[in-house]
C-alpha cells in the first residue's frame, strides 16, 4: 500500500505525536512507527492526495475491517497486521479521550494470531566457546608479539560486551549506551534503561565483572575516561559503539568459535533466559531480569526448555 507523507502535518496527528512523546515516553523510533501506520491507513481510506485536515471522526468500524482485509490481501505478516491495528486502536483511543469522537472504530478488531516459533538458543557449551574466543585470540597475538593497543582494546571491549549481554540478558540497545557510572563492579550490578525508558537493576556475574575490569584498566592506560558519564563501549575512533557495530563484531567471534554465522546478539538474550530456567530459576524472576511487562512473554522460554527435554528423552528412552 502507498503511504501518505503529509499525514504527519495533520493537526490531529501532530497532537497524537505530542501525546506519544510527552505522555507515553515513546522513543522517536516508536512514535515514527505509529505515524507510519496512520499514514498507511489514511492512504487506504482517503488516497494519497487527500486534503488536510483529515476527517478522522468519520472513520467507521466498516473502514477498520476493510483495512484489515486489505492488509491480509497484501499478504502482510500476522505480527505486522496486529501491530498496525494496535497503532490505530491507540490513536482512536486518544481521540476518544480528547472528546473528538464517541466510539473507537478499531476497538473490537483483532488481527490474525501470529505463530510463535521457538527462539534459537546456544547451548551452554556453544556459549562457552563463543565467550572464550576473544581471550584465545588475544593470547595468540601476545605470544607472537603482534598485539597493538588498538587490537587489544577492541578484543577486550568485545569480550566485555558479550559477557555483559549474556550475564544480564539485556537487549543490545540497552547495553551499548552504558556508562561507567551505571556499573557497580564491587557488588556485580548495573542499571539499564529499557523500553519505555524504564530502568531496572541487572546482575553482572563474575566473568562479566572481570571482563569489564580488564577493559577499564586498558582504557585508563590508553588515557580514556572510565568514570561518571563516560561511555564504556567505544569504537576504534573513540566514538560510542552502536548495535550495528556489535552485530558485525559478533560475526567475527562466531567464525572464531566455529558457530553458525546467522546468530545475532539477541540470541544471547534468548540463551540467558533458557539457561536460567534450565538451571531451576523462577519464571517471575527471569521476567523481572528481562524487563518483560507480561509473564506471557517470558513463558516462551519454558517451551524452549521443555522441547530440549523432549529431544533428550526421545534420544535416550528405549520406548520413546
Which positions are annotated as active-site residues? 171, 195, 266, 269, 292, 301
How far is it, in rounded angstroms, from Cα 181 to Cα 214?
16
* DSSP 8-state secondary structure symbol assigned to residue 192: E
* DSSP 8-state secondary structure symbol assigned to residue 54: P
- Contacts of residue 118, Cβ cutoff 8 Å, sequence gap at least 6: 300, 303, 304, 307
Cis geometry, peptide bond prior to residue 53 (ω within 30 degrees of 0): yes
How far is it, in rounded angstroms, from Cα 17 to Cα 90?
11
How far is it, in rounded angstroms, from Cα 151 to Cα 9?
49
- For 66-133, give the DSSP string: HHHHHHHHTT--HHHHHHHHHHHHHHHHHHHHTTS-SS-TTTT---PPPP-PPPP---HHHHHHHHHH
> How would you list the strands of the sheet with 189-193, edge to edge?
183-184, 189-193, 199-203
- Strand ranges, E, within the chain: 183-184, 189-193, 199-203
Which of 10, 29, 6, 28 has its CA nearest to residue 91?
A: 10
Helices 124-144 and 243-256 pack at an angle, to 10 degrees, of 90
How far is it, in rounded angstroms, from Cα 101 to Cα 280?
51
How far is it, in rounded angstroms, from Cα 185 to Cα 205?
9
How far is it, in rounded angstroms, from Cα 22 to Cα 36?
19
Amino acid at each position: 500500500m502507498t503511504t501518505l507523507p503529509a499525514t504527519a502535518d495533520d493537526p490531529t496527528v501532530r497532537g497524537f505525536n505530542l501525546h506519544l512523546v510527552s505522555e507515553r515516553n515513546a522513543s522517536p523510533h516508536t512514535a515514527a512507527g505509529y505515524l507510519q501506520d496512520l499514514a498507511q491507513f489514511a492512504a487506504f481510506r482517503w488516497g494519497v492526495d487527500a486534503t488536510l485536515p483529515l476527517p478522522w471522526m468519520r472513520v467507521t468500524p466498516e473502514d477498520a475491517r476493510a483495512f484489515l482485509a486489505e492488509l491480509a490481501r497484501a499478504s502482510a505478516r500476522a505480527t505486522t497486521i496486529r501491530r498496525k491495528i494496535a497503532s490505530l486502536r491507540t490513536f482512536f483511543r486518544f481521540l476518544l479521550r480528547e472528546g473528538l469522537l464517541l466510539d473507537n472504530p478499531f476497538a473490537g478488531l483483532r488481527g490474525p494470531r501470529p505463530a510463535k516459533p521457538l527462539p534459537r538458543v546456544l547451548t551452554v557449551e556453544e556459549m562457552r566457546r563463543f565467550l572464550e574466543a576473544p581471550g584465545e585470540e588475544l593470547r595468540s597475538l601476545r605470544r607472537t608479539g603482534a598485539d597493538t593497543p588498538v587490537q587489544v582494546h577492541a578484543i577486550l571491549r568485545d569480550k566485555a560486551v558479550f559477557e555483559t549481554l549474556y550475564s544480564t540478558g539485556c537487549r543490545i540497545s540497552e547495553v551499548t549506551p552504558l556508562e561507567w557510572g551505571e556499573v557497580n563492579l564491587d557488588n556485580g550490578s548495573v542499571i539499564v534503561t529499557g523500553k519505555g525508558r524504564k530502568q531496572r537493576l541487572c546482575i553482572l556475574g563474575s566473568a562479566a565483572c572481570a571482563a569489564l575490569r580488564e577493559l577499564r584498566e586498558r582504557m585508563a592506560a590508553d588515557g580514556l575516561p572510565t568514570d561518571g558519564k563516560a561511555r564504556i563501549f567505544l569504537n576504534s575512533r573513540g566514538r560510542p559503539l552502536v548495535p550495528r557495530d556489535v552485530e558485525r563484531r559478533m560475526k567475527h567471534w562466531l567464525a572464531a568459535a566455529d558457530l553458525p554465522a546467522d546468530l545475532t546478539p539477541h540470541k544471547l538474550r534468548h540463551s540467558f533466559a533458557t539457561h536460567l530456567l534450565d538451571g531451576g530459576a523462577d519464571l517471575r524472576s527471569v521476567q523481572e531480569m528481562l524487563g518483560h511487562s507480561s509473564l506471557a512473554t517470558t513463558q516462551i522460554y519454558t517451551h524452549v526448555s521443555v522441547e530440549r527435554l523432549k529431544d533428550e528423552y526421545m534420544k535416550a528412552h528405549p520406548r520413546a
